[in-house]
Amino acid sequence: MEISLGFSPCPNDTFIFDALVNGRIDPGPFRFHLHLEDVQTLNEWALSGKLDATKISYGVWPLLEDRYRLLEPGGALGAGVGPLLISREPVSTDNISGLRIGIPGRNTTAHLLFSLAFPDAKNKTFLVFHEIEDAVLSGQVDAGVIIHENRFTYADKGLHKVVDLGEYWESHLHCPIPLGGIVVRKNMDDRLAHLLEEKIRESIRYAWHNYPDLTEFVQQHSQEMALSVMRQHIQLYVNDYSLYWGEKGKKAINQLQETWHQLNAG
Query: Quick one: pLDDT at residue 216?
Result: 96
Q: How confident is the model at residue 243 (pLDDT cuts 50, 70, 90)?
A: very high
Query: What is the DSSP-derived secondary structure letter of residue 77?
Result: E
- Say whether 109 counts as a known binding-site residue: yes
Is the per-residue pLDDT at 266 higher than 90? no
- Say whether 79 counts as a known binding-site residue: no
Q: Are 256 and 59 in contact (CB under 8 A)?
A: yes
**pTM, two decimal places:** 0.90
Mean pLDDT of the region 236-242: 95
Query: Quick one: pLDDT at residue 150?
Result: 79
Active site residue 148: yes
The tens digit of pLDDT for each residue in 87-133 reads 999 999 999 999 999 999 898 999 999 999 999 999 999 998 889 99
Q: Does domain 84-173 have CATH number 3.20.20.70?
A: no
Q: Which of 47-61, 64-78, 159-173, 200-214 has the lowest mean pLDDT?
A: 159-173
Provide CATH code, domain 2-78+177-263.
3.40.190.10
- Say whether 55 counts as a known binding-site residue: yes
Is the per-residue pLDDT at 242 higher than 70? yes
Query: Quick one: pLDDT at residue 67?
Result: 95
- Rounded to the nearest integer, the mean pLDDT of the chain is 94
- Say whether 110 counts as a known binding-site residue: yes
Give Cβ neighbours of residue 176 (< 8 Å, ≥ 6 apart): 77, 78, 79, 170, 241, 248, 249, 252
Cα 263 from Cα 147, distance rounded (Å): 21
Q: Out of 35, 130, 148, 261, which one is annotated catalytic?
A: 148
Q: Are 46 and 37 in contact (CB under 8 A)?
A: no
Pairing of strands 101-103, 143-146: parallel
Q: How confident is the model at residue 225 (pLDDT cuts 50, 70, 90)?
A: confident
The tens digit of pLDDT for each residue in 72-84 reads 999 999 988 889 9
Report the candidate in 208, 216, 197, 213 with the shortest Cα–Cα distance to residue 75.
197
- Say whether 57 counts as a known binding-site residue: yes
- Which residue spans of the chain are classified as CATH 3.40.190.10? 2-78+177-263, 84-173
Query: What is the DSSP-derived secondary structure letter of residue 11?
Result: H
Mean pLDDT of the region 227-256: 94
The tens digit of pLDDT for each residue in 142-185 reads 999 998 777 888 998 999 999 999 888 998 888 999 999 999 99
